[in-house]
Amino acid sequence: PTLGPRQFLSVIGDPSFGDWNISWPLNFSGYILESSHSLGPNAVWTEYPTVNNEASFGTYETEYPIRYFRLRKVTP
């Protein structure tokens, strides 16, 4: 199989304010940001609210020391 181009999430944070911004390329329309506190077969992924659809940004506070994120394609 041929692999498509690599796509990346960008994470920018300021620990002094305790928040981070997550962004991804604009051509990822139809994707939602999900988060989980763990990885593996028992991980529970929940949709994470995003703002600014134009730039695809999600912001979260660091209330948990570890959080994992993924983009998931929404099927119609």
Q: What domains are defined for the chain? A: 10-73 (2.60.40)
Selection from 75, 72, 64 nearest residue 9 by Cα: 72
Q: Backbone phi, then psi, for 29, in 5-degree steps?
A: -70, 145
| Mean pLDDT within 53-70 | 63
pLDDT reported for residue 3: 58
pLDDT in tens, 5-50: 666 677 777 656 666 777 777 777 788 888 888 899 999 999 877 7
pLDDT at position 14: 66
pLDDT band, very low/low/confident/very high, at 61 (cuts 50, 70, 90): low
